Amino acid sequence: MKKYPHPIIAREGWPFIALALAVAAGLHAYAGFGPAAFPWLIVLFMVQFFRDPQRTIPEDPRAVISPADGRIVSVERVRDPYLERDALKISVFMNVFNAHSNRIPVDGTVTKTLYFPGKFVNAELSKASTDNERAVTCLRTADGHDVTCVQVAGLIARRILCYAKEGQMFARGDRFGFIRFGSRVDVYLPLTAAPRVSVGDKVYATETVIAALP
């Protein structure tokens, strides 16, 4: 697929930053810096939240890369409810200070996409995987491994953006979505995959290897 151009600030954030900038600049011009101090802080927050840094992709073809920046909150054997199989689930929790651009974890073709409306409980909790609003992207690698990537809304997240389409081919590190504002991403892997992270580890989208396929 066509590579996202990485303009430093994610395109999803341009309207929010423009609005915050207009409010801060207008208030500053009308009333001075004091009353505009908080709006300027909002501008800085928006810029850091919507940053979209370029990343280096690991060379190992078996590597499963992190789909998001954040912290590992789950590494466990579970049932993948989307492909009806036992699987290794690795979950990444993103707080509002992490970059929220989501990246594809493996080279593969999209076999299925699903969307589920739901609640907005704290995405750090395990029940968020099944109770919250979520978008599902199922991938199949050239070696026949199935990988399920689930974007999960969080406590204050109100919009999941997923650009993946059935039949679309992706390379590891390709940008496929964005979540506003705070959330998690669950990755379901074959049981034969070997985890490379533990609960509590800090990870970075594209650069951190979270598991290795056989």
CA distance 168 to 176: 11
Flag whether 1 is in a domain: no
* 167, 145: one domain: yes
Q: Are residues 72 and 47 in the same domain?
A: no
Residues 137 and 180 in one domain: yes
Share of the chain above pLDDT 70, in %: 87
CB 121 within 8 A of CB 129: no
Do 73 and 171 lie in one domain? The reply is yes
103 shares a domain with 21: no
Is the per-residue pLDDT at 2 higher than 50?
no
In this prediction, residue 191 carries a pLDDT of 97
Question: Which residue range forms the structural domain that includes residue 26?
Answer: 8-52
Q: Is residue 121 pLDDT above 50, yes or no? A: yes
21-76: pLDDT as tens digits: 999 999 999 888 888 899 999 999 989 888 888 888 998 989 999 999 999 999 99
- Smallest CA-to-CA distance from 91 within 19, 150, 48, 16 is with 150
In the predicted structure, residue 126 carries a pLDDT above the cut 90: no
Residues 171 and 151 in one domain: yes
3-state class (DSSP) for residue 65: strand
pLDDT tens for 147-169 read 999 999 866 555 788 999 999 99
Q: How many domains does the chain have?
A: 2
Average confidence (pLDDT) over 13-18: 89
> What per-residue confidence (pLDDT) applies to 180?
76
In a domain, 2, yes or no: no
Same domain, 173 and 99: yes
Positions marked catalytic: 183
